[in-house]
Amino acid sequence: MHKINIAIDGPAGSGKSTVARKAAEQLFYLYLDTGAMYRFLTFRALREGIPEHDEEALLQLLTNIEFSLVNEGEKGVKLSVNGGPLGEGIRSQAVTEKVSAISAHEKIRKEMVTRQQQLAKEKGVVLDGRDIGTFVLPEAELKIYLYASVDERSRRRYLENLENHRPSDIDVIKEEITRRDHLDSTRQIAPLTQAKDAFPLDTTNLTIEEAVAHICHLAREKE
Ligand code: C5P
């Protein structure tokens, strides 16, 4: 048995992060949430007042941010920034609104991709994002394209917000998801698309456990 890398891509709210995290736990793999990296950069840019179109200033900001995977014992391995937690702020509405614009810059993507490749170089990593199977790890041994209907994805985000005591409106979420899907799949650099060799997995009528079991089964066949 040898460890592999698993690329999980798909649109906003398709359940990627929950499924990827749980699959990683079951396989004793690391989990890398690449969306959280773009979200953190956006969070910091908002805090520093850097406009979303200022690519050079954003790149400079990114240079001072160090991402790592830190082993927190029982809590598992967590993505950390400059040694600490990324914080809840990365999930705020303000960040969600701006993140697609900031992540569309070529230089930002190039730098992020290099760092993600670095973090996954020892293998045994489940990465979720938009361009993992197509750009970050085109050689990943297992690629999954996770999707679900817009209604189902909106419903899940709504419930997740309620659970985390965040204010939530399902119609606003649906609009936001549709807008982000459009921006992420029509951008010039590394748009969201299913890799040719990815397994498509429609999670509309699947529970999280079923989706995780499916991915773990595919992974074990490749290990
Ligand atoms: O996965 P999540 O919804 O948290 O990602 C937030 C945003 O980050 C996406 O809408 C997309 O614009 C960007 N992203 C990206 N490439 C990735 C992961 C996320 O462009 N690999």
CA of 99 to the centre of ligand 1 (A): 7
Share of the chain above pLDDT 90, in %: 88
Query: Rounded to the nearest whole angstrom, what is the distance from the C-alpha of residue 73 to the centroid of ligand 1?
Result: 27
Q: What is the DSSP letter of 165?
A: T
Q: What is the predicted pLDDT for the residue at 201?
A: 97
Q: Is the CB of 35 under 6 A from ligand 1?
A: yes
Residue range 162-170: average pLDDT?
A: 89
CB of 116 sitting under 6 A from ligand 1: no
> What's the pTM value of the predicted model, to 2 decimals?
0.94
Tens of pLDDT, residues 3-17: 999 999 999 889 899
Report the pLDDT averaged over residues 27-32: 95
Q: Is the ipTM of this complex over 0.90?
A: yes
Query: Cα of 95 to ligand 1 centre, how many Å?
Result: 11
Residue at token pair 């953190």: 40
What is each CA distance from 205 to 8, 53, 58, 164, in whole angstroms?
18, 39, 40, 23
Q: How confident is the model at residue 166 (pLDDT cuts 50, 70, 90)?
A: confident
Q: Quick check: CB of 100 below 6 Å from ligand 1?
A: yes
- Please state, in angstroms and rounded to a whole number, the distance separating the CA atoms of residues 107 and 43: 18
Q: Residue 209: give its domain's CATH number.
A: 3.40.50.300
Q: Is the pLDDT of residue 77 over 90?
A: no
Does position 214 have pLDDT exceeding 80, yes or no?
yes
Q: Is the CB of 42 under 6 A from ligand 1?
A: no
Candidate from 17, 19, 34 with most ligand 1 atoms within 8 A of CB, to mutate: 34
The verdict on the CB of residue 33 being under 6 Å from ligand 1 is no
Q: Which two tokens stand for residue 34?
A: 């690449």
- DSSP one-letter code for 91: G
Ligand 1 neighbourhood includes 129 CB (under 6 angstroms): yes
Which residue's CA is minimally distant from atom 1 of ligand 1? 35
The protein residue with its alpha carbon nearest to ligand 1, atom 3, reads: 12
Atom of ligand 1 nearest to the CA of 13: 3
Query: What is the C-alpha radius of gyration for the chain, rounded to an integer number of angstroms?
Result: 17
Phi, then psi, of 202 in degrees rounded to 5? -85, 115
Any atom of ligand 1 within 6 Å of the Cβ of 12 = yes
Residue numbers belonging to the annotated binding site for ATP: 10-18
Distance 96 CA to ligand 1 centre (A): 9
Number of structural domains in the chain? 1
For the chain, where are the E strands, in sequence order? 5-9, 30-33, 67-71, 77-81, 125-129, 142-147, 199-202
Q: Report whether 46 contacts 179 (CB < 8 A).
A: no
| Among 55-59, 86-90, 160-164, 210-214, the least confident range | 160-164
% the chain with pLDDT above 70: 100
Question: What pLDDT sits at residue 1?
Answer: 78
Residue nearest to atom 4 of ligand 1 (CA): 35
Residue ranges making up the domain that contains 193: 5-221
